[in-house]
A = this chain, B = another copy of it.
Amino acid sequence: MIEFFYDINSPYSYLAATQVEALAKRTASPLRFRPFLLGGVFKQAGNDAPARIPNKARWMLGDLARWAAIYDVPFRFPSVFPLNSLHAQRALVALDRSVGEEAQRGLALALYRAYWVDDRDLSTREAVLEIAAARGLDVAALSSAMDAPETKDALRAATDEAVQRGAFGAPSLFVGDALFWGNDRLPLLEAHLRALGGA
């Protein structure tokens, strides 16, 4: 089982999200998308957003473009960055709890495309719900579930759990105790799964 902890505001999580389903299929591994709050992870783990370092932010622009070219996926750096992803992550958790993982994953991929391809500012509840509406989801129910204490608690709990298991950034992919951090570790994750006999 691959647990894919992600936040919509993380560009390398977007890139990984475009690849991880095919990887799971190739290795016959169950896959679970798990929304968490990257800001909370940074805070708890004592880490900082990589783009806070000017030279790293500049390098990231080129690096992200190179990965997008390798994967042949669209990518445009958003006008609004960093993104406050609290509404997005709450919507994802709420949907996961009310409808299920598949619906959550579908919304995640739609939000990723909206933010990292179509340059939509997803910092407001309305913007997130628009993307959900376009997928035919029950927006009134989703909006109300986003405010439920159970949703807020579940998002906090997923964030805490990831940090307790060793996360310090995103994406964080777990196979049991083994953590694979970053889009660039997908090949190592795949080799690990094959060594476990998953394929």
Residues of A within 8 A of B (CB): 45-47, 52-56, 58-59, 62-63, 66, 70, 163, 166-169, 178-179, 181, 184-185, 188, 191-192
Whether the pair A62, B168 counts as a contact (CB closer than 8 A) is: no
Whether the pair A47, B58 counts as a contact (CB closer than 8 A) is: no
Whether the pair A59, B179 counts as a contact (CB closer than 8 A) is: yes
Shortest distance from the beta carbon of A41 to any chain B beta carbon, whole Å: 9
Whether the pair B47, A53 counts as a contact (CB closer than 8 A) is: yes
Chain B residues, CB < 8 A from A166: 55, 58-59
Chain B residues, CB < 8 A from A62: 178-179
Q: In the bound complex, what is the Cα–Cα distance between A58 and B45 (angstroms)? A: 12
Whether the pair A55, B163 counts as a contact (CB closer than 8 A) is: yes
Q: In the bound complex, what is the Cα–Cα distance between A53 and B63 (angstroms)? A: 23
New A-B pairs, 11, CB < 8 Å, besides A46-B53, A59-B166, A59-B179: A45-B55, A45-B56, A47-B55, A47-B56, A55-B163, A55-B167, A55-B168, A59-B181, A63-B188, A66-B191, A70-B191
Identity of the chain B residue whose Cβ is nearest the Cβ of A56 in the assembled complex: B168
Whether the pair A53, B59 counts as a contact (CB closer than 8 A) is: no
Chain B residues, CB < 8 A from A70: 188, 191
Shortest distance from the beta carbon of A46 to any chain B beta carbon, whole Å: 5
